[in-house]
Every structure is written in structure tokens, then in C-alpha cells.
Amino acid sequence: MNKMLGIDPLKKIIFGITAFVLLFWQLNTGMANATELRESDRTVNLSESETVVLSDAQVAKGERLFYSTCSQCHNSGRTKGNPNVSLSSYDLEGADPRRDNILAMVDFLKNPTSYDSEVDLEQLHPNTTRADIWNIMRNYNEEDLQNVSGFVLVQANVRGDYWGGGKEIN
Ligand code: HEC
């Protein structure tokens, strides 16, 4: 009568695991939906002439990297040590060359320079070129650099003036 009892134990285990995986998957997608951003929030400058729509997964990866390697100095987009050079779109755009796009920010994270690009900040700002002295950037690959830069630009879209704005309190 009861077919389950007739199934051998291995099949029961497999059935149990499948049910668990399905449930877990459902919970996860539910969570992703809850934090889903609008497409306009995920649309950022790729370069000075092109835009790109990031996926929720790319933003989520960028967020994890930001909180593990950047937020200690860039809490809420502000800049500890130099409040005039924040991560707000206004400040990023004002840099020479402008940094309010993914490729320019990736370039900064490889070879950081002062706001006017005159001074090399290799020894002062985390970067991947000198990962030997900047341990926290050691495991960054190209995709990570793009995701973390994308996250910064998405925050500027989502949080507006609160991102990098106001007084520096951290
Ligand atoms: C140890 C502190 C510190 C950490 C960690 C750090 N930064 Fe910075 N960041 C600074 C300082 C200080 C400046 C300002 C440099 C200057 O004087 O021009 C800055 C400047 C910047 C700028 C230029 C902003 C502009 O308006 O031109 C960008 C972009 C940036 N950081 C991104 C990041 C990202 C992304 C991370 C994480 C991968 C990160 N930073 C980690 C301290 C830090």
C-alpha cells in the first residue's frame, strides 16, 4: 500500500536531499526577490560613453566585497582621511579624468592617483598592482573589481545624496 516503505533507503535519502535542496532554493530566491533593485537603479556608466545594466547577482557580489574591503574607510560612501574625495557621483564625476564609471574606477583600483591624477597613491590607497603591500586586494580578479565598482555606482543611484554626502563622521 504505502509505496514509500517499499523504496530502498538510498532512494529515500536522495528524495530527502532533493526536497531539502528545493526548499532551500525557494527560500533563497524569495530572499533575492525581497532585495531586488529596479532596473534603473542597476543602470550605471560603464565608460564615459556607454551604460550597462548590472544583474542583481553582480550587485550582491559587489556589495560583499565593498563591506569586506572598502567600508572601513568608505562607510556610506564617505571617505575617512579625505572627506572632499567621497564616493558620491558628484565627487567621482569631478575627478580628472572622471571616475563615475566602472572602467575608470577599476583603473583607479589598479593604479590609484590623486583627484587630479598628478600624484601616485599606490602606497596610500589599496590596489591590485601592489597586492603585496595591500593584502586585502590580493584575491581580487577583474570581475571583482568591476562588481565592487558597480556596487559603488548603484549605491549612488539608490541612496542619492546620502551616499558620500553630509558630514564625515566615521
Ligand atoms: C585604508 C582606507 C581605504 C580603503 C580600505 C579604501 N579606500 Fe578608497 N579612498 C581612501 C582615501 C583616503 C581616498 C582619497 C584619496 C585622495 O586623497 O585623493 C580614497 C579614494 C577613493 C576613490 C576616489 C574617489 C573620488 O571621488 O575620486 C575611489 C573610487 C575609491 N577610494 C574606491 C575604493 C574602493 C572601491 C575600495 C575597496 C576596494 C576602497 N576605496 C578602499 C581610503 C580607502
The x, y and z cell numbers of residue 118, run together, are: 598628478
Domain boundaries, the chain: 3-34, 43-162
Write out the CATH class of domain 43-162.
mainly alpha
pLDDT digits (tens, 9 = 90+) for 84-95: 999 999 999 999
pLDDT of residue 114: 98
pLDDT of residue 11: 80
- Closest residue by Cα to atom 12, ligand 1, is 81
- Closest residue by Cα to atom 41, ligand 1, is 70
78 C-beta closer than 6 A to ligand 1: no
Q: Which residues of 122-158 are buried (b: 16+ CB within 10 A; e: fewer)?
A: beebbbbeeeeebeebeebeeebbbbbbbbbbbbbbe
DSSP state of 161: G
Question: Is residue 33 over pLDDT 70?
Answer: no
On average, the pLDDT of the chain sits at: 89
> Model pTM?
0.82
pLDDT of residue 30: 45
Q: Which residues pair with 110 in a beta bridge?
A: none
pLDDT of residue 38: 96
Chain Cα centroid distance, residue 130: 21
